[in-house]
Amino acid sequence: MTVLVVLLVLLLTEPTISQSNYNYTNISNHCRGSAPTPNFIKNRNSTFAEIRKLLLSNRVLYARAQDLSGGDSVYAAAQCRNYLSVDQCVACFDVGVYEMVKCTAGNGAYVFLDECYVRYETFDDFYNLPNSTSDGASTQISSCGNESASQSLTSYTQSVDEFLQYIRDATPKTSDLYVANIRQIASENASVYAIAQCAEKINPAICDICMSTAYSKLKECLPRTEGRFFDMDCFARYSETPFFNANQTIDITNILKGQHSSTKVATIAGAIGGVVILFLIFVMLLLYRLHKSSKKTDEEDLKGTLNYNYKDLQQATSNFSEDNILGRGGYGEVFKAIIDDANVVAVKRLQIQDAKAKKEFENEVKLISNIHHRNLLRLLGWSSEGSDLLLVLEYMANGSLDRYLWGAKRGTLDWNQRHEIIIGIAKGLAHLHNEFHIKIIHRDIKSSNILLSDDFKAKIADFGLARLQPEDETHVNTKFAGTLGYAAPEYALRGVLSDKVDTYSFGIVILEIISGRRCNDVNSDMPSMEYLLLQAWKLYEKKTHIKFIDETLELSQHQQEHVMKIIEIALLCTQSPVSQRPVMSEVVLMIQDGQSLGKRLLTRPTLVHNQNRRII
C-alpha cells in the first residue's frame, strides 16, 4: 500500500531526479488504442506500483507485472540499461511512468528513454513477442546528433563504423544480450562510447536481427558524433559524450574471438560427421547386398513401400535430366519418372551432403510410409543406394497450387475448385493432427507444398520438416524451420510448435487462394499494397473484404457472401494468442458448412515480416 501511495504521488507531480544523466529530449511517448475505462486505469497504476516494488526489492533492472481484475487486462514491463544502479533505474522508471499517464485516450503505450523503456498493453504476448503492439504499428525510432566530426570525416566514419559492427556482432552472443565499450578515435583525438542491449529473455536470433537494423540506422548518422536507435527488441547508442563509466565496459574482443573458434569447431565437427555418415552409408550398402533378395526393409519397417533399385530410378528419370525436373526445394529436386514402361511417378532426390539432409530423408520416409489419406501425397517407395537418397511419390499431373494462383496458370481455377482445394487441405491436416495414431505437425504448409491431381484434388506434400507432438504435451520447443510469411509468430520467433502452427499457415494459404496473391508479396508496381494478411485484416475491419477477392473470379452474389465467410475463417486461423485459433477438425466443419464466426470476435493478427523476421 505504501508503494502505491508513493507511485500515485509520482503520477500527480513533476518528478525531480538528482544526480542523473537522463536526456529528457530523447523521451519518446506513444499512446494508442481505445479510450480506457476507470477500472483499466486502476489496473494500469497497480502494475506500475508492482514493477517499482520488484525493481527495488529484488535489486534488478527488469521487471514485469499484470493486473486482470474486473475484466480489464493490463500487462506491463520495464527494462533499464545495465550500466545503471537500481536506484538510477527506478528514477528512470518514474520518469517513464510520469510520461505514460499522460496517455488518457489509449489502452496501450510505451515510452523510450536513453536509460530505460516502460510499456503496458492489454495482451500478454508482448512478453514473448516484444515487438507486437495492439495496433501493429512500428516501434522503431532512430535519431542522430547535430554535431559532426571536426577532422577527417572519412577516417572517423570508417573507424566508428567498424566499432559499431563489432557491437552489432557481439551483443547477441553475450549471456545477457548487452554490450558496452569504448573506442579511441585517433583522427578526432576523442573517445566514442557505445552500448547495445536487447530485450530481456528475447531469443538471441531475434536480438541478432534487431541489432542488424540498429547498426544500419546508426551507420546513417555517421560522421555525426552521436546516434540512437530505439525499438522494443533492442536499443543501441553511440556518443563522444560519456554516458557510462570507463570501468563498465565489456571485452567484446574475446566474445568475437570465441565466435571464430566456434566456427572452426563446427567445421571440424562437420568433417567428422561427414566421415561418420559415409561409414553409415557403407554399412547400409553392405546390409543391402547381404539381403538383396528382399525388396522390403525390416530396419525401417516401411509397410507397403518398395525399396527401389537406384539404377532403375536413374534410368526412369533419364539420368535425372533437367527436362524431367518438376520442381526444386531446399535439399534437392523432384523429377518425373516412368517405371515399368507405364507408371508415371515423381522421384524426389536428396543429396546426402550432411547429416541434416539424411535426417530429413529418414524423417520423411518414416512419417509418411504408413499414412494413407486422399489429401496427403502417398509414398510409393524409396532408395538409399548411391550418393543420393530417393523418394518415389505419387505423380500429380497438375503440379503445385501456386502455379494456379500467381504462376503460369493464374486465373484458371473457379471458386468451386478453390473451395474444394481449401476443404481438401483442411481434411488432410485434420487427419495428421487428430486421426492418426500420433499427432503429426507438418510445419511447412504453403501453396507450393500443395499438389493438385488431374481432377484438381489437393494433396499435402513435403513432410521433410514434420514433427511429432506427444499426446500429453500442448506443444514442443524446437528451432524454427519453415517458411516465413506462412509461419505462426510464436513458432517463428520463439520456437513454440503445436498443431495450431499448421492452423495459422492454413489460414494464410486460404487468403492466397482467395486473393491470388503471395502472402509476402508487395507489388512493386503498386507501392500502396500491403502484405496479404494485413490487407485482409484492414478490409475486414471496414467490412469491405469483398475487395480482397481475386479479380479473375466471376462470382454470383451468393458466392461472394460465401467467400467473405471463408475470409473470416482464414483470419480466425491466424489469431494470436494460440488459444484463439480453432483446431483443424473444427475448421473442416466450418468450411464445409459455410459457417459464420457466430459470437467469436476477431482481433488484429500478428504478422511476422518475411524479410527481417520482425513483428508488424
Q: Tell me: the pLDDT tens digits for 369-382?
A: 767 788 999 888 88
Read off the pLDDT of each residue in 195-213 and give the average, rounded to a whole number: 87
Please pick, among 114, 444, 462, 499, the residue that the annotation labels catalytic: 444
**Distance between CA atoms of residues 291 and 285, nearest Å:** 10
Q: Tell me: pLDDT of 523 over 50.
A: no
Read off the pLDDT of each residue in 212-241 and give the average, rounded to a whole number: 92
Grid cell in block for residue 68: 486482470
Per-residue pLDDT band at 37 (split at 50, 70, 90): confident
Element counts in the chain: helices (H) and strands (E): 16, 22
Q: Tell me: pLDDT of 218 over 90.
A: yes
Read off the pLDDT of each residue in 100-108 and give the average, rounded to a whole number: 77
**Distance between CA atoms of residues 334 and 364, nearest Å:** 14
Per-residue pLDDT band at 389 (split at 50, 70, 90): confident
**Distance between CA atoms of residues 121 and 105, nearest Å:** 13
Tell the CATH topology of 272-394: Phosphorylase Kinase; domain 1 (3.30.200)
Dihedral Cα 525, 530, 531, 536, nearest 10 deg:
-130
Burial (CB < 10 A; 0-12, 13-18, 19+), residue 286, is exposed
Read off the pLDDT of each residue in 52-71 and give the average, rounded to a whole number: 91
Nearest to 574 by CA among 541, 598, 607, 614: 607
Q: Tell me: pLDDT of 290 over 50.
A: no
**Distance between CA atoms of residues 84 and 90, nearest Å:** 10
What does pLDDT average to over the chain? 79
Per-residue pLDDT band at 22 (split at 50, 70, 90): very low
Residues paired with residue 338 on neighbouring β-strands, in sequence order: 344
Provide, rounded to the nearest whole percent, the portion of the chain with pLDDT above 70. 75
**Distance between CA atoms of residues 316 and 312, nearest Å:** 6
**Distance between CA atoms of residues 127 and 479, nearest Å:** 19
Per-residue pLDDT band at 540 (split at 50, 70, 90): very high
Length of the chain: 616
Domain residue extents for the chain = 2-139, 146-250, 272-394, 402-593
Cis peptide bond N-terminal to 223, omega within 30? yes
Q: Which of 75-84, 251-260, 437-446, 496-505 has the lowest mean pLDDT?
A: 251-260
User: What count of other Cβ atoms lies within 10 Å of the Cβ of residue 262?
Assistant: 11
Grid cell in block for residue 137: 504499428
**Distance between CA atoms of residues 404 and 418, nearest Å:** 10
Q: Tell me: pLDDT of 359 over 60.
A: yes
Tell the CATH topology of 2-139: Killer Toxin P4; Chain A (3.30.430)
pLDDT computed for residue 478 by the predictor: 77
**Distance between CA atoms of residues 256 and 239, nearest Å:** 22
User: What count of other Cβ atoms lies within 10 Å of the Cβ of residue 484?
Assistant: 15
Per-residue pLDDT band at 606 (split at 50, 70, 90): confident
pTM higher than the cut 0.75: no
53-to-1, 224, 502 alpha-carbon distances in Å: 11, 40, 41
State pLDDT tens for residues 261-288: 444 444 444 444 444 444 555 555 545 4
Q: Which of 246-250, 303-307, 549-553, 594-598 has the lowest mean pLDDT?
A: 303-307
Q: What b/e string do you get for 435-465 counting C-beta neighbours within 10 Å, with b at 16 or more?
A: ebeebbbbbbbbbbbbbbbeebbbbbbbbbb
84, 115 in Cβ contact below 8 A? yes
Q: Strand runs (DSSP E) across 35-115, as ranges?
A: 62-67, 74-80, 108-112
State pLDDT tens for residues 317-338: 999 898 898 887 656 789 999 8
Determine the CATH number of domain 146-250.
3.30.430.20
Determine whether 525 is an active site residue. Answer: no
Structurally, at CATH architecture level, domain 402-593 sits in Orthogonal Bundle (1.10)
State pLDDT tens for residues 397-439: 899 999 999 888 898 999 999 999 999 999 999 998 886 557 8
237 Cβ partners below 8 Å, 6+ apart? Answer: 114, 194, 195, 196, 226, 227, 228, 229, 243
Q: Can 2-139 and 146-250 be said to share one CATH topology?
A: yes
Dihedral Cα 253, 254, 257, 258, nearest 10 deg:
-150
Q: What share of the chain is helix, strand, coil (3-state, %, to 5)?
A: 40, 20, 40
pLDDT computed for residue 372 by the predictor: 78
pLDDT computed for residue 73 by the predictor: 86
CA pseudo-torsion sign 231, 614, 163, 223: negative
